[in-house]
Structure 1
Amino acid sequence: MQSTTLLIIGGGPGGYVAAIRAGQLGIPTILVEGENVGGTCLNVGCIPSKALIHAAQEFHQLAQFANGSSPLGIHASSASIDIARTVAWKDGIVDRLTGGVAALLKKNGVRLVKGWARIIDGKTVEVDPDKQTGQALRIACEHLLLATGSQPVELPFLPFGGPVVSSTQALSPASLPKRLAVVGAGYIGLELGMAYRKLGVEVDIVEARDRILPTYDADLSKPVLAALKKLGVALHLSSRVLGMDQTGRVLRIQSTKGEESGLAVEQVLVAVGRRPRSEGLESLMLDMEGQAVRIDEQCRTSMRNVWAIGDLAGEPMLAHRAMAQGEMVAEIIAGKRRRFCPAAIAAVCFTDPEIVAAGLSPQDAAHIGLDCISAEFPFSANGRAMTLESTVGFVRVVARRDNHLIVGWQAVGRGVSELSAAFAQSLEMGARLEDVAGTIHAHPSLGEAVQEAALRALGHALHI
Structure 2
Amino acid sequence: MSNLIEICVPDIGDFIDVPVVEVLVKAGDRVESDQSLVTLESDKAVMEIPSPVAGTVQSVDVAEGDFVSEGWLVAKVEADEDIAETSAPADSDSGAKPAATKAVEAPEPSQQSAATEEPGAATETAPPEPAVEYDCDVLVLGAGPGGYTAAFRAADLGLKVVLVERYAALGGVCLNVGCIPSKALLHAAVVIDEAAAMADHGVVFGEPEIELDKLRGWKEKVIGQLTGGLAAMSKQRKVTVIQGTGAFSDPHEMTIETTDGEQQISFSKAIIAAGSQAFKLPGLPWDDPRVMDSTDALELNDIPERLLVIGGGIIGLEMASVYQGLGSEVTVVELTGQLMPGTDKDLVRPLQKRITSRYAGIFVNTSVTAVQAEDDGLHVTFEGSKVPGNTVFDRVLVSTGRTPNGNLIGAEAAGVEVTERGFIPVDMQMRTNVPHIFAIGDLVGQPMLAHKATHEGKVAAEVCAGMKSAFDARVIPSVAYTDPEVAGVGVTELEAKEQGLEYGKGVFPWAASGRALGLG
With structure 2 as the length reference, what TM-score do the two structures score?
0.70
Match of 1:20 among 133, 152, 158: 152
Q: Which moved more, 1:9-18 or 1:274-283?
A: 274-283
In 2, distance between residues paired with 1:343 and 1:262? 43
Give the equivalent residue in structure 1 for 2:223.
Answer: 94
* Structure 1 residue 105 corresponds to structure 2 residue 238: no
Counterparts of 2:386 and 2:182 in 1: how far apart (Å)? 35
Q: Report if aligned partners of 1:122, 1:284 keep a CA contact under 8 Å in 2.
A: yes
Cα shift at 1:211: 2.0
Contact (CA 8 Å) 2:335, 2:367: kept in 1 or not?
yes
Contact residue 371 and residue 381 of structure 2 kept, 8 A? no
Cα shift at 1:45: 0.5
**Which one has the largest radius of gyration?**
2
262 and 243 in structure 1: CA distance in 2 versus 1, 3 angstrom threshold: farther
Cross-structure match for 1:266: 394
Mapped pair 1:56 → 2:189: yes
Give the structure 2 partner of residue 379 of structure 1. 510
CA distance in 2, matches of 1:246, 1:318: 34
- For residues 347-366 of structure 1, the aligned pairs below 5 Å read 347-366=478-497
Task: Give deviations 1:315-337, integer Å, cap 9, x for gaps.
Answer: 11111111001001111111111
- Aligned-partner Cα distance in 1 for 2:370–2:356: 25
Cα displacement (A) at 1:159: 4.8
2:172 to 30, 39, 47: 39
Query: Is the CA contact 1:23–1:110 (under 8 Å) kept in the aligned structure 2?
Result: yes
Q: Which residue of 2 aligns with 1:74?
A: 203
**Cα–Cα, structure 1 residues 259 and 328, in superposed 2: closer, same or farther, change >3 Å?**
closer
1:179 and 2:306 aligned: yes
Are 1:9 and 1:15, in contact at CA under 8 Å, matched by a contact in 2? yes
Q: Which residue of 2 aligns with 1:252?
A: 380
Equivalences for residues 180-195 of structure 1 within 5 A: 180-195=307-322
Opposite residue 443 of structure 2, the aligned amino acid is: L
**Aligned mates of 2:437, 2:395 — CA distance in 1:** 42
The aligned amino acid for 2:382 is Q
Name the counterpart of 2:276. Answer: 150
1:347/1:29 Cα in 2 relative to 1: closer, same or farther (>3 Å)?
A: same
| 1:317-361 Cα shifts (integer Å, max 9, x gaps) | 111111001001111111111111144001111111101111223
What residue identity is the alignment partner of 2:392?
A: A
How does 1:6-17 map onto structure 2 within 5 Å? 6-17=138-149
1:197 is aligned, of 305, 309, 324, to: 324
Is 2:285–2:372's contact at 8 Å kept on the other side of the alignment? no
Following superposition, the deviation at residue 209 of structure 1 comes to 1.7
**Which consecutive unaligned segments of at least 5 residues does structure 2 have?**
1-132
Letter of the structure 2 residue corresponding to residue 222 of structure 1:
R
Counting matched residue pairs gives 382
Separation of aligned partners in 2, 1:380 and 1:31: 50
Matched, 1:29 2:29: no
3-state DSSP of counterpart to 1:373: coil
Is 1:288 the counterpart of 2:432? The answer is: no
Counterpart-to-counterpart distance in 1, 2:458 and 2:208: 46
Residue in structure 1 matched with residue 344 of structure 2 by the alignment: 217
Counterpart code for 1:125: M
Query: Structure 2 vs 1, CA of residues 48 and 258 (structure 1 numbering), >3 Å: closer, same or farther?
Result: closer
* Alpha-carbon distance in structure 1 between the residues aligned to 2:385 and 2:518: 46
Structure with the higher helix share, 1 or 2: 1
Q: Give CA-to-partner distance per residue, 1:356-406, whole Å, 9 cap, x none.
A: 1112233322332222221111232222222222xxxxxxxxxxxxxxxxx
Corresponding position: 1:124 with 2:239 = no
Q: Which moved more, 1:277-286 or 1:174-183?
A: 277-286
Q: Deviations over 1:230-265 (max 9, x none)?
A: 213411222111121252623423333598976211
What is the one-letter code of the residue matched to 1:388? L
Q: Describe the SS at the equivalent of 1:21.
A: helix
User: Over residues 420-458 of structure 1, what are the superposed CA-to-partner deviations in whole Å (9 max), with x where a residue is unaligned?
Assistant: xxxxxxxxxxxxxxxxxxxxxxxxxxxxxxxxxxxxxxx
Call closer, same or farther: CA 1:3–1:96 in 2, change over 3 Å.
same
Q: Whole-Å Cα distance in 1 between the matches of residues 517 and 164 of structure 2?
A: 49
Change (3 A) 1:31 1:385: same
Partner of 1:304: 435
Match of 1:212, SS state, is: coil
Secondary structure of 2:173's aligned partner: helix
Once residues 223 and 19 of structure 1 are traced to their aligned partners in structure 2, the CA distance between those partners, rounded to angstroms, is 41
The question of whether the paired residues in 1 share the 8 Å contact of 2:251 and 2:415 is answered with no
1:217: how far off? 1.3
Inter-partner Cα distance in structure 1 for 2:291 and 2:306:
13
**1:102 and 1:177 mapped to 2: Cα distance?**
36
The answer to whether the Cα contact below 8 Å between 1:239 and 1:253 also exists between their aligned partners in 2 is no
Letter in 1 for 2:383: S
Q: SS at the partner of 1:288?
A: coil
2:467 is aligned with what amino acid? K
Give SS of 1:128's match.
strand
Higher mean displacement: 88-97 or 299-308: 299-308
Q: Take 1:250 and 1:329, find their aligned partners in 2: how far apart are those partners?
A: 46
State the percentage of identical aligned residues.
34
Q: CA shift at 1:135, angstroms?
A: 4.2
SS in 2 for 1:295: coil
| Structure 2 counterpart SS, 1:214 | coil
Among 412, 434, 456, which residue is 1:325 paired with?
Answer: 456
- Name the CA distance, whole Å, in 2 between partners of 1:12 and 1:259: 39
Letter of the 1:368 counterpart: Q
Q: Which amino acid aligns with 2:210?
A: I
Question: CA deviation digits over 1:170-197, x for unaligned, max 9?
Answer: 1111221111110000011111012101
TM-score, with structure 1 as normaliser: 0.78
Q: Is the 8 A contact 1:181 1:265 kept in 2?
A: yes
Contact 2:285 2:373 in 1 (8 A): no
Once residues 209 and 135 of structure 1 are traced to their aligned partners in structure 2, the CA distance between those partners, rounded to angstroms, is: 46
Unaligned runs of 5+ in 1: 390-464
Question: 1:330/1:159 Cα in 2 relative to 1: closer, same or farther (>3 Å)?
Answer: farther
Q: Is the 8 A contact 2:366 2:385 kept in 1?
A: no
